[in-house]
Amino acid sequence: MRKFSILIRIILEEHFKILGENKTAQVGGKYSNIGNWGAHNYHIIQFTNDTSRAATIYRYIGSNPLGNTQVINRGGVVKGARLNTDTGKFQWRWCKVDLAAGEPIEFDFQQILASYGSSASIMRWELA
């Protein structure tokens, strides 16, 4: 229910600030094409460590040279990173999962492309 009330509030205000930018998206305004940003993805992930030793898995999100701003919500903890030439950062390691031998884990997270533009979001998992 809360997600709907937030969405309704944004629509009724007809404008909102673009995260990581000094710009405002507004109906009929310069940044009114929100089709290129604001993508909201929901993921459910399950890992099983089927080895006899502990393992660590990292999750990265990156951008191409155009840059973007990413927001991640995992377990109610919201973090963000601006990936572009201004920050000099094009990859963000936002998740670390430690698994004991034989341990399974399942969790969900939300990823939001929170910047204007059509820059790609590049995601990958890495076993340390």
Task: For 48-85, give the DSSP string.
Answer: E--SSS-EEEEEEEEE-TT-EEEEEEETTEEEEEEEBT
Between 16 and 30, whose confidence is greater?
Answer: 30
Average pLDDT over residues 95-105: 92
Tokens for 54, please give them: 């502990």
Q: Which residues pair with 98 in a beta bridge?
A: 56
What integer pLDDT is reported at residue 124 of this predicted model? 87
Tokens for 8, please give them: 């309704």
In which band, very low, low, confident or very high, does the pLDDT at 69 lie, cut at 50, 70 and 90? confident
Tally Cβ neighbours within 10 Å of residue 113: 23
Between 47 and 35, whose confidence is greater?
Answer: 47
The separation between the first and the last C-alpha atoms of the chain, rounded to the nearest angstrom, is 39
Indicate whether 122 pLDDT > 90.
no
The CA R_g of the chain, rounded to the nearest whole Å, is: 17
CA 31 remoteness from chain centre: 21
In which band, very low, low, confident or very high, does the pLDDT at 56 lie, cut at 50, 70 and 90? very high
Indicate whether 34 pLDDT > 60.
no
